[in-house]
A = this chain, B = another copy of it.
Amino acid sequence: METPCSIARTLEVLGERWTFLVVREALAGTTRFADFRATLGVAPDILTNRLNTLVEAGVLTRRPYQEEGKRTRHEYHLTPAGNELRVVLGALQQWGDTHRPYSKGPTITRRSLDNRPLNVAYVDDTGHEVPLNEVRFIRT
């Protein structure tokens, strides 16, 4: 059944910790099953399941590749929709770094091409930041 809430629909794809972490690795450039597995330390059956979910949801695409003398394997690449999850994951990182800080500081920082620090925030239609206390959620 279709649910009207876009948060609930997004969580149908991402509503589980491993799925978010697979997307985090994909955003950091990981493409191969063995590399996802090594970085995340996740069981192979769970990883297969999460990669399939993300392919079906249009977040990742599967592409065959073959190394000399080996059988064909698959790489997983972010689609444009998957790349837009950078906003969601960045918002989660930022909140965690502020409100559940790691004793040794952030493990990932978000930077512009000229190395300036970036934040995830609300912007208006002219691309200017809007303070959080001026953001309204309107039911339509």
As a 0/1 sequence over residues 108 to 140 of chain A, the CB contacts with chain B under 8 angstroms (1 = contact) are 111111001111111111011110101111111
A55: interface (CB < 8 Å)? no
Q: Is the CB of B21 within 8 A of A103?
A: no
Q: Is the CB of A106 within 8 A of B140?
A: yes
Q: Is the CB of A129 within 8 A of B132?
A: no
As for how many copies of this chain the complex holds, the number is 2
Interface residues contributed by chain A, number (CB under 8 Å): 75
Which of A44-52, A61-69, A92-100 is the contact stretch? Answer: A92-100
Q: What distance in Å separates the Cβ of A131 from its nearest Cβ neighbour in chain B?
A: 9
Q: What distance in Å separates the Cβ of A12 from its nearest Cβ neighbour in chain B?
A: 7
Taking each of A28, A90, A102, which has the highest tally of chain B beta carbons within 10 Å of its own beta carbon? A90
Write 8 A-B pairs (CB below 8 A) sorted by A numbering.
A5-B107, A28-B139, A106-B140, A112-B130, A116-B124, A116-B125, A123-B129, A128-B128
Interface residues of A (CB under 8 A from B): 2-13, 15-17, 20-21, 24, 27-28, 57-58, 81, 83-100, 102-113, 116-125, 127-130, 132, 134-140
Q: What 7 new A-B contacts, CB under 8 Å, besides A83-B132, A106-B140?
A: A3-B102, A5-B96, A81-B99, A87-B120, A112-B130, A118-B130, A120-B123
